[in-house]
Amino acid sequence: MATKKILLTAVFGPYGVKDKYADGIGMQMELLNNQITREQGIHSPRQSYWSFGLYLLAENISVPSTVLDFPSWNDFTQELNKGYTHVGISFIVPNVLKVKRMAEYIREHHPEMKIILGGYGSIIPDLDKLLPYDELCTGEGVQWLREYFGEDSSMPVKHPAVFGPAFQSIYGFKSKPKGSILMPGLGCENGCTFCITSHKFKKKYVPLLPTGKDIFNACFNSENKLKTTGFTILDENFLKNPERARQLLEEMTFRNKAYVFDIFSSAEVIMSLGVDFLVRLGVRMVWVGVESKHNLHAKTKGIDLKALIKKLQSHGIIVNASAILFQEHHDYKALCEDIDWVIDLESDLVQFMNYTPFPTTSLYEKFEHEGRLNYLPYRHQHGAGPLAFSHPYITNSSDHIQYLKNAFRRKFEEHGPGILNMAMTAIQGYKRAKQDFITRENESLVWNPATLRYEKSDQPSKDTFFELRLRKMEKIAKNLRPILLAAWAYAPNKLARNKARKAIHDYNSVFGQPKFKTKMESFVLLGTGATELMKTWALKLFSQEGIVYQPPVKRTEYPLPNQLIDTPIASYPSVYRSLEYSSNLSTP
């Protein structure tokens, strides 16, 4: 019997490029430019994130494995020649035709290899009728894979140390990613009808890092290996387990480590914990689902979302508000009112997505029962195109696309670049935190971890941990300062230009005039931004929405030695000038 060896791979690229396997718009491997800062052109931060689940799987099995991330077709087929007994492919619903091609190729050229499919694409009904495979991982992947290979599934999960973005750039200037990723758990108990994350795990939360100390240890490990102190937490509602978050803060305080986090959280949880706790914990950005002004969900009911967002921003916490268009109550009037309402919340960033009934969700079951599913091909079910159900009021599929695009455009025109809003929130938050720190010292207020509040004390002591937090907030604000000149120079209108001018004034009043290094960084962004702007204009002449960047290919072998082995391999060009890809992608 051959020694087991598994290849864990993402689907092949290119991505965000329309071909016979996948869509273009809506399918970029970029969260921000794809569905948050869309329509913001050169002002949009450009980032692609690695397929983190694959690294988590490889880290937690003893079977020798290789992670192949963002491969081209040739990368994938050549890797198979290195000899594997199993191939695990992770995918989402719109990429099912790419998986079909990969699986059929394996069956034809390597029939001895077992094909394992996983990821959110595994929810597709009757998947076995679309493509060949041997096993389907439908639950939590680490436990499933351990049980499949006959390993101890009760062992604690070991969190991998992986850089956050695969690449990042702003105003055409590429910089080295410095953040990392945490995956403390899967699923969500809120059970929103449309949420695939909640329904895939049966409306239950599956902890991977069950305690605050576990999360701290993952942070500490990443800092030691990668020198990262900032983390994006991939957890649908991280603060829903408040005790774990408390433990994390206590561990950081005890160890004198002021890590920084970008998180997802529902509004009702933020209200219960309080903004002071989030600031002390080190939350730099929070993603909040606002959905609709009609407050159709328990997580927002009775909450003044605009006041909450303003309070978060005043404390330096960047807010990304997530809204859903074309819900069932949306006729044209209600749809426009909801878009107006979301924009009026004045969050730093906004995610607009179209209502999508994914299989396994209660929304899908409802529409299926009512006979309203229109069975849109899976490759188009990415939330930025036509609807996958018959809408009661808005039936024109071109409206589904255009209203979404226009919503992003309006947010940009009325509130300016998201990156500028982030900078303004960072500077006002640092300024306030510094003043609050002084006020608390003068009034003998100390942090009470039991009540999560600052309270009067007869024996006050110096808050050394918050001094660390202040330095982190200062660094966050200063890191954003170089973008201000480009945000002003390339502002989309007078309103945005005045906002950039105010931001420059605020930064100067807090930090003084920029030093030589900051000035040079600003002028570099001005230059690279001009080049990026010309590229964007050229694409618009051919009716293209913007530049499509491709993430780099990465190959990582496990078990790891003392350091990560990331072997760069040749990839297709990093920039595609067109969203249409006409090269021959047929199976060799």
Domain holding 273: CATH number?
3.80.30.20
**Domain end call among 353, 385, 416:** 416
Rounded distance, CA 475 to CA 469, Å?
10
Say yes or no: 351 and 496 in one domain.
no
The answer to whether residue 69 sits within a structural domain is yes
Is position 547 within any domain? no
Which pLDDT band, with edges at 50, 70 and 90, does 126 fall under?
very high
Are 273 and 402 contained in the same domain? Answer: yes
pLDDT value of residue 568: 42
The answer on 331 and 194 residing in a single domain is yes
Residue 583 lies in a domain: no
pLDDT band at 125 (very low <50, low <70, confident <90, very high): very high
Which of 357, 388, 416 is the C-terminal boundary of a domain?
416
- How does strand 165-170 pair with strand 173-175? antiparallel
Judge whether 581 lies within some domain.
no
- 580 within domain boundaries: no
Residue 176 shares a structural domain with residue 121: no
Residue 574 has pLDDT above 80, yes or no: no
Confidence of residue 582 (pLDDT cuts 50, 70, 90): very low
Tell whether the model's pLDDT for residue 564 goes beyond 80.
no
223 and 105 housed in the same domain: no
Angle at 234 between CA 236 and CA 273, to 5 degrees: 55
| Residues 74, 53: Cα–Cα separation, whole Å | 23
Are 228 and 334 in the same domain?
yes
Whether residue 283 is found in the same domain as residue 322: yes
Give per-residue burial for 238-265: e unless 16+ CB within 10 Å, then b: bbbbeebbbbbbebbbeeebbbbbbbbb
Residue 575 has pLDDT above 70, yes or no: no
Residue 545 in domain: no
453-475 mean pLDDT: 95
E strands within 143-282?
A: 165-170, 173-175, 180-182, 185-186, 206-207, 230-233, 260-264
The CATH number for 560's domain is 3.40.50
DSSP state of 229: -
Alpha-carbon distance 445 to 408, whole Å? 43
Given a cut of 60, is residue 13 above it in pLDDT? yes
Domain presence at residue 586? no
What pLDDT was estimated at residue 2?
66
What domain range is 231 assigned to? 165-416
Is the same domain home to 109 and 195? no
Tell me the average pLDDT of the chain.
Answer: 92
Same domain, 370 and 505: no
Q: What percent of the chain has pLDDT over 90?
A: 82
Number of domains within the chain = 3
Q: Do 561 and 476 share a structural domain?
A: no
Q: Are residues 261 and 181 in the same domain?
A: yes
Question: Do both 384 and 440 map to the same domain?
Answer: no
pLDDT tens sequence across 48-68: 999 999 999 999 999 999 999
Residue 532, in any domain of the structure = yes
Residue with tokens 């780099």: 552
